[in-house]
Structure 1
């Protein structure tokens, strides 16, 4: 990649010089907002590298295959749950959410609109300057992340985060600009969301279709 990024005074490093192996991350500092946007443009939309930006700090990360499996499994489960509960939703995947005024930007593993779905319905270009942030963000912590995500999410105003790590799924709600672990999801208040990892593991060897059927059956038992 041809773009150069100044990470220290008088020092420039080209992105093509970086080799970020799966499961690893690279942290750069003194990256201006204009440089951050230039990097996004150079990387493009179709890439394996994931980014997070916080007041001049930029992290580049490449996920592991295990990370992608649980991201996909939980994401599909969220969609199956929503359909079983007859809830309108929209998923925007790993969209880059950013606000220059707050010097914050990141890409969730997946993100969803539920409460605000009607406000963004049909939109292909969402701008947080005028549109609401996603109602739910999904973070899979299978890799070592150097940059703390919660402060970035908080400045962007995302009300709920699900974090999966080592077989456990935790729900965090935004309260007074900070995230607090909760026992219930605001999106699915009637469900014991923390049971999802056990369900996924129980059906992992039986294939995707069996897992999806199990998730829908599980929802019916908790309605």
Structure 2
């Protein structure tokens, strides 16, 4: 990987570098080289590799969402296992990515039950297609101050209004507490609202 390319990526805003025609083994090699570089996220889909920088805004939003979900699970006495941004891959499907956040509900599993993706700027890889290859049951997208949920059914993702894992969670209410620059107060208010 050319060091000059990485230096051109601005860490204060989300930027994306797209590489085409990357074989699976080369993707693994690039991932290995970049695994200790903070602030980068790789998404791979059948020869297309996207390297994205993570902006401070992106990171604050994903952390606020994670804290709220974890607080909700705590308040409702639900077993929620946080898996963070672990890299998941499926060589047979030639797909791999690192979710912003992902979780197992109930039991800890090899593949998480659902993933959360924060979208500050749109990428060129269809993340639902990557998640499909990883067999993640539900994907939550956070974009423009609202959640969009997709549930895997009959081999494809379908938009849904309610999470199968948190059927009582009001997503509009949750969205109102995603306040990245006011996390402590927003999380306390959310917790009090749940009580």
Q: TM-score, normalised by structure 1?
A: 0.80
- Alignment match, 2:172: 194
Gaps in structure 1 of 5+ consecutive residues:
1-13, 121-130
- Alignment match, 2:151: 173
- Whether 2:17 is the aligned partner of 1:39: answer no
**Preserved CA contact (<8 Å) 1:25 1:144:** no
- Cα deviation for residue 215 of structure 1 reads 1.7
CA distance in 1, matches of 2:26, 2:69: 35
- Alignment match, 1:57: 48
CA distance in 2, matches of 1:194, 1:177: 28
**Preserved CA contact (<8 Å) 1:154 1:179:** yes
Gaps in structure 2 of 5+ consecutive residues:
none
For these two proteins, the number of residue pairs brought into alignment is 191
- Whether 2:102 is the aligned partner of 1:111: answer yes
Q: TM-score, normalised by structure 2?
A: 0.91
1:111-150 matched pairs, under 5 angstroms: 111-117=102-108, 120=109, 131=110, 133-150=111-128
CA distance in 2, matches of 1:80, 1:144: 28
CA distance in 1, matches of 2:79, 2:143: 28
Aligned match for 1:212, one of 182, 187, 194: 187
**Preserved CA contact (<8 Å) 2:79 2:107:** no
**Preserved CA contact (<8 Å) 2:84 2:102:** yes
CA distance in 1, matches of 2:169, 2:132: 24
CA distance in 1, matches of 2:80, 2:175: 22
Q: Deviations over 1:26-64 (max 9, x none)?
A: 111111111111111111245211010001110000122
Which moved further from structure 2: 173-182 or 104-113? 173-182
Q: Deviating runs (4+, > 3 A) in structure 1? A: none
**Preserved CA contact (<8 Å) 1:82 1:89:** yes
Give secondary structure in 1 for the equivalent of 2:66: helix
Alignment RMSD (CA, Å):
1.6
Question: Looking at both structures, which has the greater relative contact order when contacts are Cα pairs under 8 Å and sequence separation is at least 6?
Answer: 2
